[in-house]
Structure 1
Amino acid sequence: MDRKDICSYDYRELEDEITGMGEKSFRSRQIYEWLHVKLIGDFAGMTNLSRQLRDRLEGEYKIAGMRVAEHQISKADPTEKFLFELEDGNMIESVLMRYTYGNSVCISSQAGCRMGCRFCASAIGGLKRNLTVSEMLRQIYQIQTISGERISNIVVMGTGEPLDNYDNFVKFVRMVSDEYGLNISQRNITASTCGIVPNMRRLASEGLQITLALSLHGSNQEKRERLMPVAGQYELTDVLEACDYYFQETGRRITFEYSLVSGVNDQPDDIRELTGILRKRNCHLNLIPLNPVRERDYRKPDRESALDFKNKLEKNGINVTIRRERGSDIDGACGQLRRRYAGENGRKQGETDEDICND
């Protein structure tokens, strides 16, 4: 019998499970605290439960684990990158970034990605599978346990498209911000999307208070499609209307992410078109000088060109910043560490089909 993934149950679901076993409801509170506050990785350590209950939990449920396959620590800034191996052999990345206002973790929502962005290492090899709720939570739990420091901010901008794993992503947000768990403020959670319009609109109606970051990357429909094949499914006008709807329903200002690619989307026409898109919107533009990927042909603009692009947008009334580069001496860009470790087929070098579980 396959054991059930206990860490993917929210508080009410776990209460139903435990009372369904004939236990008092307060036991579910104890178990939830062990899993989501004390971040324990096995049932044996739940010392305020009876041995009989611990044995039963062990027999019927599992605490899905993940192994640290690689851990890189930057010497340039307080940034650490983690490569986690999941129970089925798939690899995902997470990043810990320390700031004066607190510790931020960037997590993955999928193993691989099917959005196909041409400048991103995460898209190479395509999508393997969605992550479960517990696998998204476990990245934060592992990093908090390893670092011994509390995580106060979460960005879902690692490998994968969170709105392509919609139900698990929304449940993850509710659980990580739950008063019974880590209780991280939803206002400290940001999720990035390539612009999946129907799910952007669904998200606006969920009653959440997270920040939505749109991967814009092109100043018009043609350039977006050139850099992001998924943009061909949704017209830019529809994507922007979905952004406006999200702001209208939540009051949360949209962030527009814009990877600067030398000679592609950093030209005078781009400044003019971006100004037209953004000037009348309550938003923030985050410029990200491209972190080159070996398998791709795109180049990073020099610092002077990036600053000139930013300054001209500011003169046009755009609220804009250049993202501070973090982890420049490690595999800093999304998917780079996973790609280097796993090779072309998304597996460790030398593995055969028989060595890994099917997706």
Structure 2
Amino acid sequence: MNSICDKNQKCTFIENHSYFQCENENITILQKIIPFDKVHNGLCDCEDGSDENEGLCTSKIQEVLELKLKSLKEKRKTNETISAKRDKWTNNGKEEALKGIKLLNSISEELNKFKNTEKYLEKMRQERLSYLLNQTESNEEKKKIKKAQNYFVHDVIPFGIQERIKNILRPIFHFINDLNPEAINDQNYCSIRYKLGKIRSFIEEKEQQTFQRFAYNSAIISGDYCIFALNNICLKYQDYELCLGKNFTKNNQLIGTYKGHLGYSNIYIGYSQGHEVRSKLTVLCGKENKVSIINFINLSSINIFIESPCGCSDTILFKEIDDQIKSIETIIKQRTKNSLDLNDENHKNSQKKDTEAI
């Protein structure tokens, strides 16, 4: 034992002799170390007074335990509020994801109908084109035959040569028609081409919408609805604005566009479609939704950390606190019982002395 302690003083030391470790009845949550210059200075720095001479300090352990218990219970109430916010976001995300899946299923059905219509119109276009081509060839043939009636036979193009010319010109005609459909002045054909163009535009639009299924499905599969619901919020941090599921900007200039998240526990990953920036977003436990850190790894890669109730599982919010509350309540209960037993024993001893005196 170090000479700084009195002979009968209860105290212990850690390996580094620059510090003194309060005994505090060996209660784990009250473990405390203080500098040596605070030992024997006339002030009670340890809750049990083990840093001073015996009898100088009154034990404050019961009082400290009760204050700590009160503080933990208040913190638990705060965490219950965070948990409620998380559950609210989770329900919102679940509703949005399910509505999105329902909408995209409808879009998929509509897309299939458009594709069937496209096939039908394309078949009509080809049939009409073939008809017009044959009509053109037939009319040209009749004109040549009629014209040839005024000439000798050797002035008429031989039939075999004429067929070879047709075969050469036919693909050229198709090619030119595809490049410039207006070249064919046929009302039915133009109507078909117009409808076909509209259908193909609709198909392109619907196919772009179905890309969103990735985000919806990942939320459904992982059950990470809370993080999915963050798609509806925008967060500001210095010169940056992060609209989850949408755009990431700096000074109102687009850096990247988020397309979806993978749905892994507490992690939202979106790869930007901007000119050069790719970013990874990690969701940490926090009271409110806010950006905490933006870390530039290099010119083309950014790590973004946000705090949100979505990052708070019940294990994070309650396990450690509940364990501490249970431990303190057990200690207080045992200390109270010991105190009552001691008082009872003292009372009996006092009565015994009084009886012996009589």
Q: TM-score range by the shorter chain?
A: under 0.3
Larger Rg: 2
User: Counting strand residues as a fraction of each chain, which structure ranks higher?
Assistant: 1
Task: Give me the TM-score of the superposition, normalised by structure 1.
Answer: 0.18
User: Counting helix residues as a fraction of each chain, which structure ranks higher?
Assistant: 2
Task: Give me the TM-score of the superposition, normalised by structure 2.
Answer: 0.18
